[in-house]
Chain A
């Protein structure tokens, strides 16, 4: 087991395209770190550089106190789980898991012991004699993980391992992965484009975009204190609403955010100082759907009532998502399923502005 660190790591392809633009990342021993971001953000490239499958164009990668830039994958003592599992189709499950050990000339009984143990952890003992094509997607996924576990490597690398599974199985395997990590405690780097996966699995989440790291933090941190508009929009489902607004003087001497001619929202008292210096500037207001809900007379007194025309209603059972347009910008609110909302009708809404975020429109920085 080991820590992993990336120092100013750059990946540049022929022709000067930079996929990874110099990232710094320290991963502690036993930690489960998830790299998340949209496709093409450089997360897979970063993982593959840690694995040694891609050359590192600049910077250093350390695994367990050694610089590994020039170390071929087989000597890095890592194991990787691929999106399409990459099981050897001509080998039985047992041989698939034993292949790495055989190549490393482990004694036969040791191989058997390790494979059996991994199979027990993953609950695939009855499958050991089968060929991969006789397995279901979830079972293949387990075998791929088993292949990683038996090697007992310093680091586990996962490259979108659940993308090929159907939604139900994905949730199940997600729990499975977490359980395995709790058992073996191996340092893990996990790449996904699915923020829910990232949030549920990670000790720390690394949000990447355009070849750089936007933010590193615990799932809670990212959710409550996103550093940039990108992170704010990427983490959380449904995505955060963004509304252009202007910071100006409010009614009772405080600040207010003017969204449209009709909608002006008061800034909560504890944020007056923070936003004071942006007075008179055009900003972006970010608020999550779960912090927009139907207005009640008996609600908190300073919550402003805003009436909006309903565009689309999506009942989800536990809650109902209602979509509106505010000056052409789409807005989504999460309301109580008991609320009566019909397309075209006006719905009174209010916002929990203590949960709002204010961003600079040009840099996307959350202030």
Chain B
């Protein structure tokens, strides 16, 4: 009764009448993918019209002269690189992003661990309180910081005075102002790191710690041999994410210092705004923001790699 054993011959015969039908089957499958394409079309148009096109347009703009009448090639970039102010901007952008991200990553890690220590039912309220800086729109909370740094009314200076210290010109002196912008960014971004790390910590199986404890690991060894390796990927993704957003930050510097004093806090975004929008030199402004691109592209590459790897991890 071995029915299907002599099949190969049958297949050959069957495939001929089936060929005619196959076209209609393909049409059926085609409808499905057409429908899929149509559903994705608004997204494609949006991204093409307001992301991809402007990106190329920016490159074009950056190669024009100020009045946008003639083509100057890479002249704007060369001009910028020679300017002292712009060299400062590069330095400050890197300083701002790297210092802030390192601080956020460290504080976030500590906070996540503290949160992980306390019983689950109490975590909600603490998490609720600790996330507040992230919830308030940054432009608005920065206004409060500005007010707290105010030269004549600073609430921080009042505290310093109580302890007998002199007033600090928070936003008036270059390095202090730089510190202030970074501090605000750390205040704002740490909760994000905490939440990401906490989620990662919770995903580490408890048995691993138990196994490590039985193998004789102490708390520090557990951290280095269990926690960190298990969280490595999510730490990397979070840091890169944050690096991108911090690097491109505009709100804090713009509101707090507007780049001052003496351009000592300008970052790419604020400088591009000042040059491009306020002074009306669109091509030069476009060139300034384009300087962000290579750094962002490298970071994006690593983020994407991390995300794909993580997806595979979840899948397996």
Contact = CB atoms under 8 A, between A and B. Distances in A.
A215 B7 contact: no
Interface string A2-13: 000001101000
A208 to B, nearest CB: 8
A213 B4 contact: yes
Contact of A59 (B3, B8, B14, B25): B14
Given A8-B13, A10-B11, A55 B25 contact: yes
Contacts of B228: none
Contacts of A216: 1, 3
Contacts of B5: 212-214
B144 interface: no
Tell me whether chain A's interface is mostly helix, strand or loop, or mixed: strand
A240 interface: no
B28 interface: yes
A24 B4 contact: yes
Interface in A133-163: none
B15 interface: yes
Nearest to A72: B28
A361 interface: no
A286 to B, nearest CB: 16
B24 interface: yes
Q: How large is the interface on A (under 10, 10 to 19, 20 to 34, 35 or more residues)?
A: 20 to 34
Contacts of B28: 55, 70, 72
* Residue from B21, B24, B29 with most neighbouring chain A CB atoms (10 Å): B21
A228 interface: yes
Tell me whether chain B's interface is mostly helix, strand or loop, or mixed: helix
A69 B21 CA distance: 8
Interface string B1-39: 111110110110111001001101100110000000000
B4 A69 contact: no
Given A10-B14, A56-B25, A22 B2 contact: no
Interface residues of B, number: 19
Contacts of B1: 215-217, 221, 227
Contacts of A215: 1-3
* Residue from B2, B5, B18, B25 with most neighbouring chain A CB atoms (10 Å): B2
Interface string B73-100: 0000000000000000000000000000
A23 interface: yes
A21 interface: yes
A8 B13 CA distance: 9
B25 A70 contact: yes
Interface in B235-285: none
Given A59-B14, A215-B2, A21 B24 contact: no
B3 A24 contact: yes
A58 B18 CA distance: 6
Contacts of A70: 21, 24-25, 28
Contacts of B7: 8, 21-23, 212
Nearest to B19: A58
Contacts of B18: 56-60, 69
A69 B25 contact: yes
Contact of B2 (A7, A214, A221): A214
Given A212-B5, A217-B1, A24 B25 contact: no
A23 B4 contact: yes
B18 to A, nearest CB: 5
Contacts of A72: 28
A261 B22 CA distance: 59
Given A10-B14, A22-B10, A22-B14, A55 B3 contact: no
B8 A22 contact: yes
A55 B11 contact: no
Nearest to A23: B4
Contacts of B21: 69-70
B4 A22 contact: yes
Given A215-B1, A217-B1, A228-B2, A21 B25 contact: no
B15 to A, nearest CB: 5
Given A8-B13, A22-B14, A212-B7, A227 B25 contact: no
A227 B2 contact: yes
Nearest to B17: A60
A227 B1 CA distance: 7
Nearest to B3: A213
Contacts of B13: 8
Contact of B14 (A7, A221, A227): A7
Contacts of A214: 2, 4-5
Contacts of A227: 1-2
18 contacts: A8-B10, A8-B11, A8-B14, A22-B4, A24-B3, A56-B18, A57-B18, A58-B18, A59-B11, A59-B14, A60-B18, A69-B18, A69-B25, A212-B4, A212-B5, A216-B3, A217-B1, A221-B1
Interface of B: 1-5, 7-8, 10-11, 13-15, 18, 21-22, 24-25, 28-29
Interface of A: 7-8, 10, 21-25, 55-60, 69-70, 72, 212-217, 221, 227-228, 365
7 closest cross-chain pairs (CB), A and B: A213-B4, A8-B14, A22-B7, A212-B4, A22-B11, A8-B10, A227-B2
Given A56-B18, A70-B21, 11 more contacts: A10-B15, A22-B8, A23-B4, A25-B3, A59-B11, A70-B28, A212-B7, A214-B4, A215-B2, A217-B1, A221-B1
